[in-house]
A and B are shown apart, each in its own frame.
Chain A
Amino acid sequence: MSKRRIIVVGNGMVGHHFVESLVARGGDYAITILGEEPRPAYDRVHLSDVFAGRSPADLALATRDTYRGWGVDACFGDPVLRIERAGRRVVTENGRVFEYDKLVLATGSYPFVPPVPGADNKRCLTYRTIDDLGEIKANALDSRIGVVVGGGLLGLECGNALRNLGLETHVVEFAPGLMGVQLDDGGSAMLRHKIEALGVQVHTGKNTRNIARGAERALQMEFADGSHLETDMIVFSAGIRPRDNLARDAELAVGERGGIVIDYKCKTTDSDIYAIGECALFGGRIYGLVAPGYRMAEAVAAQLVGEEAQFTGADMSTKLKLLGVDVGSIGDAHGRSAGAMSFVFSDGREACYKRIVTSADGKQLLGAVLVGDCSDYDTLLQYHLNNIELPPDPQGLIVPTVGDRPLLGVGALPATATICSCHNVTKGDVVSALDSGCCSLVEVKGATSASTGCGGCAAMLKNLVEAELLVRGVSVDKSICEHFPYTRQELYHLARIGEVKSFATMLADHGRGRGCDICKPAIGSIMASLWNEHVLDLKHVGLQDTNDTFMANMQKDGTYSVVPRVAGGEITPDKLIVLGEVAKKYDLYTKITGGQRVDLFGARLNDLPAIWEQLVGAGFETGHAYGKALRTVKSCVGSTWCRYGVQDSVAMAIRIEERYKGLRAPHKLKSAVSGCTRECAEAQSKDFGVIATERGWNLYLCGNGGMRPRHADLFATDLDDESLIRYIDRFLMFYIRTADRLQRTSVWMDNLEGGIDYLRQVVIEDSLGIGAELEAQMAHIIGTYQCEWQATLADPEKLKRFRQFVNSDQPDSGVVFVRERQQVRPARAEERLRLISVAK
């Protein structure tokens, strides 16, 4: 007997998922795909990513080879014209005929264009396929204004696309509010507010009557209320309509407002024909999301191999980022269920809106709306989907309280709780993946497909996996990465005791594989702290982060910033003039930093050597702004000028900066010296800070500004100059020996057993007997200091790297500047688009 023939009409997301599901289940079938679009299935959900730089090819869900590999026949670019049910065949537009035993319709839907005169203008577009996307891009090139008709989910996404293309963007909506299907009035108003703040103009309650030729722009839209709007292009996104014409013509039942009627087996009124995805009407409803379509696809695939499977409807909750605004909608967002109660929280200042809808007894979560802050979405969705009983005061779920928040931990979820709705993965599935040997998030993703669809479940999946691993007592692995089963501290000791001087030796002796961007810079830094060889020595060059490689800080557009050292913040007028001259010559954006020096931004890679040639010539040295190394030692003006100053804080700051410049450490190091207790240099926020007293210096350790500020601890008081320096030597070297990778002194101190008292024992009392050793090691580093830039300029081999292209002198065409307040700055995405298209 020959194989049973299955024909799938439509190769969109759901059609593809069906084929994939059926192939995965095995079974002896001859499958044929007949697709209208010229290319195999792609990820329509992420279509808009193309506007943000992804290439259309990246969206592919399958290639012709994929299908060939599966033994599936696939024809593209030739749509099916009709179904001949009596002969069980379909006929394509090109007249080809295919016979089937079972037919699966997955024809999706098309964008609805309201019957407005003029809507057939060639500058009126729709947004559904990769080809549409090309049209939109092409039209945007000579447009300044773009209008999206439709303020629903897709319309707003399309609005964002137009904005990304650099157009003045308008959204025109017939209804009184945005996203009326998913949001209540309050949420809709907040969304509007946020979107308008982004510069997108929203027009609601507008009924388009006519589209005519515009006076100044290509088109003029005329509205029922007499107003009008001129624009260069229009994209219709006013809803979708199921593509049910094949079924209609073949006299299968279709819904009053469209959609191929299916039962819980996804069968149409002909039991050999199924319909799945957006063309199907189930329970009087079209599911315009991909997850329900996938469930239908799986149900049909399962039945075909003889399994019992049904489609019983699907949840339509959604979480999205629209124009950068978080929006979430769960279940009965409008509170239409009988007896429903609502709790609303609206915060005008933070611009967020939250509403939950509960059952009359307040025990079940029926729905929710979140705008501006979706952090509660996962928790709320789980309450809703699993009918988990709400806490006595459900409003606590959305009101930001100080302290405890009744969050629903992943632990509280039942095994049946859906974690990933795209791939229908439950908590139970994740747990069994872990039980059968997965030990990491990546492995769980691979085994279950969770979080590989829309990505909305990523945070929850991560929490769940981590919590489950913890429960299993999987010890937290402290290896710095997969290449070295050691902590940074252990690596430091291995390198020091074994006198290891290269990464290659380290890897051969103690590691495996080739290394990565975690262990390479960490070991590079350890080598530098121990042996202080030039960072661009051939054996070290591949270890450095780009900032160290090019001895400058990479900026967002791939150019670099240049920060010469200005020890203690003291600078002569002549040197200031040189900075000005260099900045002018290379057109660099110039700014005074928070570290009391000058930063020159926008330097091209190939200009760095010439810039430094001039700076070094004028007596400047590198400022190590790029390194995990000593940065600046800030000073206040001190006793030399200030009427309150009690010591020469500038001289001490310069002495400290000159002493420790070039010292590489687990993280950057900052210092400051204040001339009196008024503390104008902010020494107490530094890794090591010094404040003058009548009798000497107070030393403060382990302070931090930045993300988690920490006041430094007072370590020792009234020190003379030499004791101060000795203590700092010992402190820094002890930190370098024992800290974790990228651990600032503040965090190191918080984790140091015995705290500041222990540190005093080690540094002041020399309880470990390593004081002299630490000092000797510091002396070695200081003795081998070289200005990395000066050394580089003297070495043609090292300079070879400072070429944008090794085979051309052209500059990087991706670097585009505009001028603002008389200086350059990188062009923003929309400015670049305009500048580049003008240039073409």
Chain B
Amino acid sequence: MTAVEKHDWEVICQRSDLVAGSGVCVLVGSEQVALFYLPGEGPELYALANRDPIGKANVLSRGIVGDINGQLVVASPLYKQHFSLVNGACLEEEGVRVEVYPVQLEGDRVLIGRR
């Protein structure tokens, strides 16, 4: 995969830190990154900026994950807008978007890609 090779990968935590079917938050430099762990079919790990741009608090890792029309999303725990786990776009508010980070699991290690 060419997309993967562009990044420098950094270990940020262990698989055991993740909560299946839900999110946790890691600190990467000074950025808060929400990690969502969905074991099963398809990619298992997704990462978005933890900050909810609408509620304006660092809480996205604490939202409920699910899918809306086949799109994987997390619902902000504050005001319940949905953000795509794949591209960070907000489903309710056109144009609102949160940062998406490349992440992968390598054995028990969780890696994040830095540009």
Q: List residues of A whose CB falls within 8 A of some B CB.
A: 43, 46, 49, 53-55, 57-59, 452, 455, 482-483, 513-517, 519-521, 538, 541-547, 549-550, 554, 556-558, 800-801, 803-808, 810, 812-815, 829
Min distance, Cβ A461 to any Cβ of chain B, angstroms = 13
Partner of A452, one of B25, B51, B94: B94
Cβ B62 vs Cβ A550 within 8 A: yes
Cβ A43 vs Cβ B95 within 8 A: yes
Of the candidate stretches B1-9, B69-77, B100-108, the one touching chain A is: B69-77
Known pairs A53-B56, A54-B96, A558-B57; A542 contacts B78 (CB<8 A): no
| Contacts between the two chains (Cβ within 8 Å), count | 115
- Interface residue total, chain B, C-beta cutoff 8 A: 43
Cβ B64 vs Cβ A807 within 8 A: no
Known pairs A43-B95, A514-B67, A515-B66; A814 contacts B57 (CB<8 A): yes
Q: For residue B26, which residues in chain A have a CB less than 8 angstroms away from its CB?
A: 805-808
Q: How far is the CA of A234 from the CA of B41 in the complex (A)?
A: 56
Q: Can you list 28 A-B pairs with a CB-CB distance of less than 8 A? A: A53-B53, A54-B95, A58-B96, A513-B67, A514-B65, A514-B66, A515-B67, A516-B66, A516-B68, A516-B75, A517-B66, A517-B80, A538-B20, A541-B19, A542-B22, A546-B63, A546-B77, A547-B77, A554-B59, A556-B78, A805-B27, A806-B18, A806-B26, A806-B35, A807-B27, A812-B32, A814-B32, A829-B56
Q: For residue B53, which residues in chain A have a CB less than 8 angstroms away from its CB?
A: 53-55
Q: For residue A53, which residues in chain B have a CB less than 8 angstroms away from its CB?
A: 53, 56
Cβ B24 vs Cβ A801 within 8 A: yes
Min distance, Cβ A484 to any Cβ of chain B, angstroms = 12
Q: For residue B97, which residues in chain A have a CB less than 8 angstroms away from its CB?
A: 55, 57-58
Q: How far is the CA of A535 from the CA of B35 in the complex (A)?
A: 21
Partner of A804, one of B18, B25, B73, B96: B25
Cβ A542 vs Cβ B67 within 8 A: no
Whether B87 is near chain A, meaning CB under 8 Å from some CB there, is: no
Known pairs A516-B64, A556-B57; A806 contacts B17 (CB<8 A): yes
Q: For residue A54, which residues in chain B have a CB less than 8 angstroms away from its CB?
A: 53, 95-96
For the A-B complex with A455-B94, A800-B17, A804-B25 known, give 13 more contacts whose Cβ atoms are closer than 8 Å.
Answer: A46-B95, A516-B68, A517-B64, A541-B22, A542-B21, A546-B62, A554-B78, A558-B59, A806-B24, A807-B27, A814-B58, A815-B58, A829-B56
Min distance, Cβ A61 to any Cβ of chain B, angstroms = 9
B19-57 residues with Cβ-Cβ distance < 8 A to A are 19-22, 24-27, 30, 32, 35, 38, 51, 53, 55-57
Min distance, Cβ B34 to any Cβ of chain A, angstroms = 10
Min distance, Cβ B15 to any Cβ of chain A, angstroms = 11
Q: How far is the CA of A805 from the CA of B33 in the complex (A)?
A: 9
Cβ B12 vs Cβ A556 within 8 A: no
Q: How far is the CA of A807 from the CA of B16 in the complex (A)?
A: 12
Q: Considering residues A517, A520, A557, A829, which has the most beta carbons from chain B within 10 angstroms of its beta carbon?
A: A517
Partner of A806, one of B13, B21, B57, B80: B13
